[in-house]
Amino acid sequence: MAVAALKVQLNALLSNMFATGMVDEQFQQLQSLEEGGTASGFVAEVATLFIEDADRIIADIAALLDQPVVDFDKVDAHVHQLKGSSSSVGAQKVKLACMHFRQFYEAKSKEGCLMALALVRSEFCDVRNKFQTMMQLEQQIEACSPK
């Protein structure tokens, strides 16, 4: 019974993530990979990787922007990486925030970058929370179900 409720909760969470555009079809594809294959926990693994990686990248960008003289090329590289990483996991909103970011580092606007970074960070926090919730639910289901 607990398992079923958890599953309902998980599904609600996932559909909410899709509905809000937080994740896109890439994430769906990852899920389908997990379902179809032997790679159980794959989505969780990727999500974990993403969270770690994005967290690091965002911290790096923040550090860069904290410098008196901002190296926008490095910012570019980091944002680029974050974009690749978020698009790979299907974190659509983070990806969009990264694309939004671009115009500011191209304009070499430090304030704009800080703004954009705030947006990225906020989007990332959202998706991180959801991912973490998702993984917790999955773990609970895992813990309950095999009996």
Total Cβ atoms within 10 A of residue 35: 11
44 lies in the binding site for other proteins (CB under 8 A) = no
- For 48-71, give one letter per residue: b (16+ CB within 10 A) or e: eebbebbeebbebbbebbeeeebe
Answer yes or no whether residue 84 interacts with other proteins by CB under 8 A.
yes
* Contact predicate 130/17, CB 8 Å: yes
Q: Is residue 105 near other proteins by the rule CB under 8 A?
A: no
Under the criterion CB under 8 A, does residue 132 sit at the interface with other proteins?
A: no
Interaction of residue 127 with other proteins, rule CB under 8 A: no
Binding of residue 49 to other proteins (CB under 8 A): yes
Q: Could you list the residues that contact other proteins (CB under 8 A)?
A: 26, 29-30, 33, 36-37, 39, 42, 45-46, 49-50, 52-53, 77, 80-81, 83-85, 87-90
